[in-house]
Amino acid sequence: MNFQHWFTTWNTRSSRNIHKYIKDYNFIFLQEITKKELEKEAHKLNNSNRKIFYNCIHDDRGNGIITNLHIVKQEIGSLDVGYGSEDDTYIYVTVDLTKTDSQDPLNHLKIFCTQLDKNNEKTRLEQLQKAESPIGECEIIMGNLNCLSFADYSLLEIDIINKRRSKNDQEVARTQVIKFIENFGFCHRPYIGPTSTQQTRIDYIMIKKNKNIFCTGEEIIIPKSKTNNNSKHYLVAFLIHKKGRRFFL
C-alpha cells in the first residue's frame, strides 16, 4: 500500500499537450480549462495502462479536479464579492487516501482548491473571507492564489517586481492574502523558484501545521511550450504523506 501521493496545481493558460505533464499525479487541480478538455484528460488517464479509475469535477468557471483518490464529499462555492472577477469559485473536496471508500475519517484528506482574482489584493482577501468556513476545516490549500509572500524575495527583488508591475499598470506587491491564510495555521514551503514567467511565486500548495501531514517531495515543472511565454504558469507538485492512517485492502 502506497503511503504517499502526488498532488499538483497548474494554471493551464496558453499551454498545450497537458496530458504528458499530469499523467503521473494522484490529485490534479487545473485552472483555465474547459469541462470538455477536463473530461478528455480524465478519459485518457482511464484508458492508460495504469488501470486506476480517475474521476473529475468541473465548476463551470474554468477550474477542475482530476483524481484517482475516492471523492467522499465535494462542494463548489462562489467567491463573488460584488466586483472584481465575479466568476471566481472554489472547489472543496474530501478524498479517501486509500483510493477506496474506507469510511474511516483517519484516511480522509480535506482540500480547498481555488483561483483568486488576478488584479487586486483587496478583492482576493475578501474572496478568502467569504470562504472562511472551508478554509478553517481543510488541511491543504492549493491553486493559483495570484499573491506574493514577501519572505520569498529580497527588498531589491520586491522593488524590481513593483517596477515591472507599474509598467504593466498593475498594483504594487502586497501580502495580506498570505498573512490571512497563515492565520489559519497554514505554512508554505521555502521558496525554490518562480511559478510563472513573471518570475514570481503565485501558485501554491500549502499544508496546515500540526495535522500529521507532511510534504516529502516538491517539484516545479516548466512546460515546454512556446505559446504566449509572457503569461504562463508552471506546475507545482508535492509528494504528500499523512500519518496515523488506517488501511483497508
Tens-place pLDDT, residues 108-165: 999 999 999 998 999 999 999 999 999 999 999 999 999 999 999 999 999 999 999 8
For residue 170, what are the CA distances in angstroms to 44, 213, 224?
39, 36, 27
| Residue 229: predicted pLDDT | 57
| Residue 226: predicted pLDDT | 57
> What mean pLDDT is reported for the chain?
91
Displacement of CA 151 from its chain's centroid (Å): 20
Q: What string of DSSP letters covers 191-205?
A: P-S-SBTTSS--EEE
243: pLDDT confidence band, cut at 50, 70 and 90?
A: confident
* Matching residue, cell 484508458: 47
Residue 85 CB coordination number (10 Å)? 19
Tell me how far apart the alpha carbons of residues 211 and 27 are, in angstroms, rounded to a whole number: 19
Question: What stretches of the chain adopt beta strand conformation (E)?
Answer: 4-11, 27-31, 55-58, 63-67, 70-78, 89-96, 108-115, 140-144, 186-187, 203-208, 213-221, 235-242
Tell me how far apart the alpha carbons of residues 23 and 168 are, in angstroms, rounded to a whole number: 35
| Residue 234: predicted pLDDT | 94
| Residue 146: predicted pLDDT | 94
2-11, 195-204, 240-249: range with lowest mean pLDDT: 240-249
Where does residue 169 rank: exposed (0-12), middle (13-18), buried (19+ CB within 10 A)?
Answer: exposed
Beta-strand pair 235-242/203-208: unpaired
For residue 59, what are the CA distances in angstroms to 66, 70, 119, 169?
12, 18, 21, 30
Tell me how far apart the alpha carbons of residues 141 and 217 are, in angstroms, rounded to a whole number: 17
| Residue 31: predicted pLDDT | 96
Overall average pLDDT of the 233-241 stretch: 96
pLDDT at 29 over 60: yes
Residues 6+ apart with CB under 8 A from 215: 189, 205, 207, 238, 239, 240
Tell me how far apart the alpha carbons of residues 68 and 66 are, in angstroms, rounded to a whole number: 7
CB 233 within 8 A of CB 115: no
Overall average pLDDT of the 2-9 stretch: 90
2: pLDDT confidence band, cut at 50, 70 and 90?
A: low
Determine what percent of the chain is predicted with pLDDT higher than 70: 93
Residues 6+ apart with CB under 8 A from 246: 102, 104, 106, 107
Look at residues 244, 139, 242, 145 and name the one whose alpha carbon lies nearest to residue 186.
139
The three-class DSSP label of residue 166 is helix
168: pLDDT confidence band, cut at 50, 70 and 90?
A: confident
Cell numbers at residue 105, please? 475519517
User: pTM for the full model?
Assistant: 0.94
Overall average pLDDT of the 204-226 stretch: 90
Overall average pLDDT of the 160-178 stretch: 92
pLDDT in tens, 49-95: 666 789 999 999 999 999 999 999 999 999 998 876 567 899 999 99
